[in-house]
Structure 1
């Protein structure tokens, strides 16, 4: 028999691999595993399997139902749905695709095989039926009858085979028609605990379930029959014949049985599975809750097949990434071959566990130490390695810290002034004594180690009995204790010692060591000797301060001390309070008395501090505010035996605080109701508080503004100045500032405001916040702009008239000079040069009179000079354009006349020095460049330059070029001369600030049209 070829579509790698192993184990050929709907369709197209096992829920754009629909419609390949979900919506969608079978996770290998065989058989029958139908359509009526009979016989045979499959099913299967069980298999008889099928046939399904499921079962059966759907697998409690219950899952679907619309019901005993799942869930929770990384490794492929969350996160990989790796990828100290040999040896020897300490490598290639317990597991499905890895980084760090701690302890014990010692309570041996023993006792450490009780011999005779009794008592009673005593050093000096002794318990709670510390407190005792003097100073202080200071017994029944300020504040004598320690309560204001007494009671009960402000009424009726603080005083044993307190008259402060609150309220009213914007700004330039006027002005809500800085709303060109002012404000360089600036509203609109900034200080005078007062001056700015535009218009009219008059006057001068040329031909050359220069200046003024900004376009200037020279000197000038710029260039107004004179001299010199005769070539004027650099080149044929010519030094220059050199701007202009063959070139290069960009050159001529 040919093996059925199966394609698995499942996005859970571990489950897909296990399913593949099961399928191959029972004799099927697995063509591959697809992890998405798209790849499933491609794989079916390429390999044409006999069956597709499809997980309904898949990652990606196409789920299992969509993929199954494509596969069925395009390739006619049967699909077996596989899913862990039992969702009504999914069943409805799945039903439309007409699957060959439907299997819910989990399932047994036997159940899987039976379902696959049923699906394959059903598909074959569908193919045969379609073939029969096609054949019947093409044949005559007689053949149709014969084919139909054969088809019916085939269907009968199919039903017999189907009955055989049903009878062989391990699940209980029954057919329900008209609410009555009409067919059951042997598995159902066994599950119900009856003797024969006849005991079940004829009963109702409700007879075999717990009463609480009656309504649910009835509703489910009706829904399946009406909608012809596959019912979800539902859990129930089955009632066996003997009255015991069994956990079951039932799934049903509608079909026609014996011509009647019926239900096929499949019931599975899931009692054992539920228990196993519960145990498996507990096991999984335990694994996922483990602080150690747990990995399952497939030995043949040397790949991870499962791991817990900590095992994934500690390596820095995602689950998908780690599934594609193996142990050799995370163990830098082991090769793959070495790991394979190690695992194989464990499998051969049956080793139950080996501990290894090594390093793991994270995704970022960093290493960390781990302790690994490795076990090998053999099974029918293959060999698996279980590795439990514990990150021991912290343990290593703790070990290092312990070593460091021991070293620090040694350094501390050997360098502190206190004596530190450790004694073994079992043997009485002194295990350690610090070097300070020799300094304090004046005896060697070796003497104490040799004779552990020798330190007692140094105890002062008056204290020896008390010290010995204390030691004996606490050896019996246990616990830590401390005491003071005196010692006599070998030199006869007496020292006071404070000792603290503590027992050390073993694991059983028994004392096995004692540690102690002894401190030389002689200096403390000396200070105590001056206590009386200190107390006297205290008395002088307490009796002269303005606050009342008092000391009384813990129960408030006896006053020990009260300072004279009591009489000033209370207006009563101190003697009255000594006579009646609780009489001060009578002076407490009636409205405050109950609260104060409650707090006093709580202080006594809970042993807490008293800290209250209240009013008292003096005998003269005056009301004073006081601030009372009281605290417990403890004795050497930590027991409260006294109470002390201070009472301050804070009437003036309360009055000031009231005045401050009134001032703050006035400020608040101004802040919220003023017709201008107010904002309080922090040192981080964020808004802390804004009023509604500012919020409306900017178009933001107040909450939105509190998440912004003033820089977020300031026009970029104005921000630097405002930030500098604010910095000076917070650094106390200026007390306030005024600034006109622009803001940007939420809708993008820019508007002008007047800003007044000042600073709010804290009590220490330090800058705390900035206060900004903002006034919208948009209308005022618009009026100023209109007024300025009118003034500019008037000025331009005046300038244009002045330039026109200057040009006309210069033209008159040129006319006079031309008359002198006629009258005085001997100075014709000099006069023509002067005429050319005046024409250049006149041309500049003529151009400026046309431009409101008094800037002349360079192309207009060159064209004008060329035209003038052609007319006056009857020369040919050929303008050539070599420009590739968008914006034309203008000459700055202050450089217009010098540049025009330079160009005039260059063109006239070129004309004068051109080679005479019939081969005289036109003067060529080139102009080209871009908006940042423009070159004007004047070129002519000539006999050459004089030998001594050097423009940079001024050597060999004529009158004209000397003038050019003197007129050349110091910045933004450069003039060079060159000669090639018989062509002489003057190259005049202009850059900013001499040139100013505006619009573009025309490529059709020297100047734009």
Structure 2
């Protein structure tokens, strides 16, 4: 075994980390026998964490696991298993289980089938508990719905902390007061209010926090950014956590300025007509000025959006419900290799890599039907010159008042370099695995702290007759089960030396191991430090062992 081999294997640390991550799931081997019965030939101890069952119980009765599958998911699970049996492909699916304690869990199962003799079939796979990810996804969906309602409400809405500082405001709120969201998020409610009305909010905040008067509706005067007074009708509620501790206020603000002014006008109906005309002229003038400023702001926003569209940072496009290109920027043309004039003669599905078209069309149709508003996927396009372009695609639909799609806004990033790097890394990892599998020696990685093998190549089967999974299943009992009693103390001393070893130093030793036939085989091992933990202690050692009889 050359030093170069160990250098190459060390660079495969990422592969070994993936193996460690996989160990957080339940690894198993399941056999369907010719008489129709099923049995686990191996299952990892993580079965206790997921299925609330011991390894011994599951090995004795595989149905203890299978009976936990949710009734609504059984048919799909059976169909997937049958598909695996027929195609022998690696498959993955998610399903629900109900544990003995009554917990509902989401399980992601990945497995591969192998045909055995006598028409029997074996499945090798891993089950992961993805319940937390499912819950997080559902909470995110609820948060997105709230965000959409908040942002697009036709009434001013805001979140305010216990000191009266704005935490978040919607667009309508900005329109009411004339400030941008960035400006308002730096302000306090007292900054907007007329000084004489500040006490209203202070009394509500104090009463809500101290006296649990959590909801109130009141009227209050504010100063617009342009200087004029706004009358607001405020509906505010205090949000508390599960323990009842106050967190923040959520408020709705409706501009009732016109209503208030109208009430004032009715009260002043006895005033002279001339005075009313003067006030009317002032209001018309003010409104005209407001409209002019809004128009200028809209024009400025349009110019800003146009400059952003023309930036060369990311590909941008507007596409039609018929998949045509309405408008694109130069960066998108550069990514795909087509000038805009040629793209107008094409639809995006015609230049999509065939294997990626189905998933894109599925998301596209879901937006068209109103099920979702947008999506983000990694997708391949075919460049004008024929090469494959890897992209990250973010698509957002914009609808007409009747709810139908008007157009799509598309952001496209060229991630070809990243994808090529990922493919190269995968090839490197596969190369390292092939080297390990082709070695005539046993290659192993040993967790010195947990005293168990975390990796061993297939040569263990040639020399001792055990499969790698069987060795890993022995855990910390590996040496006690297989090593000659007279050699146990020596190997313990050897690993105590390794725990204090410096990086790069190689240790060797000889010892006897019992094979599956009960015979003692003399092995010669060379091993050294592979990696350390955050405190600098030796975590893993790597080594090779050869049968001294050859």
How would you bin the TM-score normalised by the shorter chain?
0.3 to 0.5
Return the structure number with greater relative CO, CA threshold 8 A, min gap 6: 2
Q: Give the TM-score of the pair, scaled to structure 2.
A: 0.40
TM-score, scaled relative to structure 1: 0.24
Rg larger in structure: 1
